[in-house]
Amino acid sequence: MARPASSRSTPRPPDPQITSVQQGSAVPPVEGHVVLLGRSGCHLCAAVTELVAAVAAAHPELIPDGAVEVDVDSDPALRSRWGDHVPVTFVDGVLIGYWYLDRDTLLAALTEGPTRVRVIP
């Protein structure tokens, strides 16, 4: 039997004391032009790291300070939020890819501005 509409609870606004990782948002855990979330021993993470390094070497003006790399296993909240989705790539705070990243997507994000992925994990 369905509950009457009047007995439904009103959704609560996000608690400002809870971090974005806990709320499940797609916000990078650190600041940086290009932020990579990964883990040691992850072959997909290594491939994305190599791709970003190659783009930075070919176009130093696009990634002048290199990428900021974060090990999701260094923090239980990060591991819980992103552990099944690494590698995760952010450009200017926007999630542009997880699991895989291709050169065209990275270059477009760096030159034309990042486009958020359609499905956020």
Is position 53 within any domain?
Answer: yes
Is position 72 within any domain?
Answer: yes
Is position 7 within any domain?
Answer: no
pLDDT at residue number 12: 37
What does pLDDT average to in each consecutive run of 10 residues of the chain (121 residues)?
Answer: 38 38 69 96 98 97 96 95 95 96 97 92 83
Residue 118, exposed/middle/buried by CB under 10 A (0-12, 13-18, 19+)?
Answer: exposed
Q: How many domains does the chain have?
A: 1
Is position 1 within any domain?
Answer: no
Distance, CA of 61 to CA of 74 (rounded, Å): 30
pLDDT at residue number 53: 97
pLDDT at residue number 65: 93
Is position 30 within any domain?
Answer: no
pLDDT at residue number 10: 36
CATH of the domain at 46: 3.40.30.10
Is position 112 within any domain?
Answer: yes
Q: Beta strand pairing status for 88-91 and 68-71?
A: unpaired
Is position 59 within any domain?
Answer: yes
Structural domain harbouring 51 = 39-121
pLDDT at residue number 121: 83
pLDDT at residue number 4: 40
Is position 14 within any domain?
Answer: no
